[in-house]
């Protein structure tokens, strides 16, 4: 029996008579299950039609209504993908659920005996719980909403309706073709947000209090949503974790698609790709992108400035490039409350397991700095602050700040200069994992944010003794931000306050490592 078996109509709304939680969506009735007492979960609920067959490489289409009750007690299909390559596969779980209905969401919600626990409203809203919508990372080729670390039980336990989203990945979601819309994966995310606006009230959520949050490629996606006219009004707050605004021109973005086409021996068109077997396409895509990473370059899938979903580069629109946004436009997303930050040692996820930290020689460091156009004056500041650091550690620190910390600081500065109505908060996650010497690496904060350190998948990165009190503090900050727009520390101002989550207890730090940040200016 699958998660989408239809059952006869039974019970009343909320499931009090049937013994299972139920909800009536715009498209039909669904039945879920109880995660724990007081928390219901609805898994694999479709927000758009399956993007295959005649709908392959097409914009998402609304779900067809159904009769009866759809079971939503198991995770839905994941987007076509391949697992992470070793050694990252042991650190980053990436479950696969077969099927075509990959455009689905999971919902965790506070639930009482009679149905959704709506709560008292709060902050002047018209009622309902705050809503958080999670957009997963994975370099736009990995990940799903079925990853155990992303379990939303703790958020629902603490009064939030948590929604996690699947979207098309790789060439299916971010291929660039002359005969298909661009940014299909981003369009999927927008379709999911429209679904949330139309349906979240039946789970007890307030459609006027939606917070989008995501990490890595999910954070890059959220920055794009902040800059997209098609997403305006769909969320009130945003959390950007370890991802900065970016998008490529059509010419640059299409290079990966063309490389996959060459590998397949077909034309670089959606029509030609639609005729290719899914597994064969995944094989070619994996071979082309095997050596690409956010820090080392190579072929990868990226968002594209398309004149529609993304009329201009989000880095420019949000002020992350360090310049002045387009005349008369201000800063996009200025009315949205924004929480953003990084880990202290993002690079270690890629540089340590691969051995690059140890292998990189002084000569290769100089070559890498030249290729990536790191100013010599900037490198000198980092060297002076890291006496005895290996070349790989120095390169990693520079790459972390160039790609992530500096652009996010510039975003915060642009919002401050513009007098943006939305508040801005910055954080840094610094607790070092003892596992493999990963330190405070990319993605390490996820088990803390979701309060899922108890799961084996989180422990693969943190080890068994990660500080639960730090997870409680970080998770509570995210809940408070979604509920009230204030995570519990001072908003961004001229003193550049950053909340440091570890090592040790959380502490507000003014302008951390500011000499290094300033070294990128001018």
Could you give the residue numbers annotated as active site?
216, 346, 442
- Count CB atoms within 10 A of the CB of residue 357: 21
Prior bond of 503 cis (ω within 30°):
yes
DSSP 59-94: ---PPPP-SSEEE--S--PPPS--PPPTTGGGTS--
What is the distance of C-alpha 113 from the center of its chain? Answer: 33
Please say whether the beta carbons of 42 and 205 come within 8 A.
Answer: no
What gap in Å lies between CA 175 and CA 102, rounded to an integer?
A: 17
The string of DSSP letters for 349-377 reads HHHTTTTHHHH--HHHHHHHHHHTT--HH
CA distances from 339 to 219, 425, 522 (A): 11, 5, 26
Among 485, 491, 421, CA closest to 123: 485
Tokens found for residue 170: 């790789």
| β-sheet bridge partners, residue 70 | 6, 30
DSSP H helices in 158-216: 170-174, 184-199
133 beta partners: 163, 212
φ/ψ of residue 431, rounded to 5: -70, 125
Separation in Å, CA 374 to CA 54, 276, 369, 437: 47, 41, 5, 26
Environment class of 1 (CB within 10 Å of its CB; exposed 0-12, middle 13-18, buried 19+):
exposed
Residue 519: Cβ within 10 Å count:
21
Residue 167 gets the label, from left (phi > 0), alpha (psi -120 to 50) or beta, of beta
């Amino acid at each position: 029996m699958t998660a989408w078996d239809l059952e006869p109509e039974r019970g009343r709304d909320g499931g009090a008579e049937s013994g299972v939680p139920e909800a009536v969506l715009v498209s039909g009735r669904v039945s879920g299950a109880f995660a724990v007492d007081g928390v219901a979960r609805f898994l694999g609920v479709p927000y758009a039609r399956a993007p295959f067959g005649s709908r392959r490489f097409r914009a998402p289409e609304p779900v067809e209504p159904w009769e009866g009750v759809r079971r939503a007690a198991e995770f839905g299909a994941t987007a076509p993908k391949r697992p992470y390559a070793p050694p990252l596969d042991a650190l980053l779980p990436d479950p696969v659920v077969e099927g075509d209905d990959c455009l689905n969401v999971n919902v965790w919600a506070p639930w009482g005996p009679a149905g959704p626990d709506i709560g008292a409203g709060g902050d002047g809203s018209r009622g309902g719980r705050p809503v958080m919508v999670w957009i997963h990372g994975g370099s736009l080729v990995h990940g799903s909403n079925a990853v155990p670390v992303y379990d939303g039980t703790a958020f629902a336990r603490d009064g939030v309706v948590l929604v996690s989203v699947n979207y098309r990945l790789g060439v299916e979601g971010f291929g660039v073709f002359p005969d298909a819309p661009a940014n299909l994966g981003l369009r999927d995310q927008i379709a999911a947000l429209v679904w949330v606006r139309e349906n979240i009230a039946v789970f007890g959520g307030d459609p006027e209090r939606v917070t989008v949050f995501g990490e890595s490629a999910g954070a890059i996606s959220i920055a794009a949503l902040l800059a997209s006219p098609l997403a305006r009004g769909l969320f009130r707050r945003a959390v950007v974790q370890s991802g900065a605004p970016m998008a490529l021109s059509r010419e640059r973005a299409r290079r990966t698609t063309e490389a996959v086409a060459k590998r397949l021996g077909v034309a670089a068109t959606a029509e030609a790709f639609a005729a290719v077997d899914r597994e064969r396409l995944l094989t070619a895509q994996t071979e082309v992108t095997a050596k690409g990473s956010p820090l080392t370059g190579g072929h990868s899938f990226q968002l594209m400035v398309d004149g529609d979903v993304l009329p201009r580069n989000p880095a420019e629109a949000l002020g992350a490039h360090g310049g002045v946004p387009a005349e008369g436009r201000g800063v996009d997303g200025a009315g949205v409350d924004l929480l953003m930050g990084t880990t202290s040692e993002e690079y270690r996820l890629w540089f340590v397991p691969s051995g690059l930290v140890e292998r990189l020689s002084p000569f290769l460091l100089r070559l890498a700095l030249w290729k990536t156009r790191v100013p010599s004056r900037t490198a000198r500041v980092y060297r002076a602050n890291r006496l005895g650091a290996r070349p790989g550690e120095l390169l990693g620190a520079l790459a972390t700040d160039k790609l992530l910390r500096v652009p996010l600081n510039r975003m915060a500065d642009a919002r401050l200069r513009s007098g943006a109505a939305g508040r801005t908060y910055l954080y840094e996650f610094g607790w070092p994992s003892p596992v493999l010497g990963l330190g405070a690496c990319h993605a390490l904060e996820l088990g803390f944010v979701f309060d899922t350190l108890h799961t084996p998948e989180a422990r693969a990165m943190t080890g068994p003794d990660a500080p639960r009190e730090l997870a409680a503090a970080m998770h509570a900050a995210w809940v408070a931000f979604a509920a009230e727009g204030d995570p519990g520390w001072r908003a961004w101002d001229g003193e550049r306050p950053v909340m440091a989550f570890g090592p040790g207890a959380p502490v507000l730090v003014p302008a951390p490592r500011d000499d290094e940040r300033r070294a990128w200016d001018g």
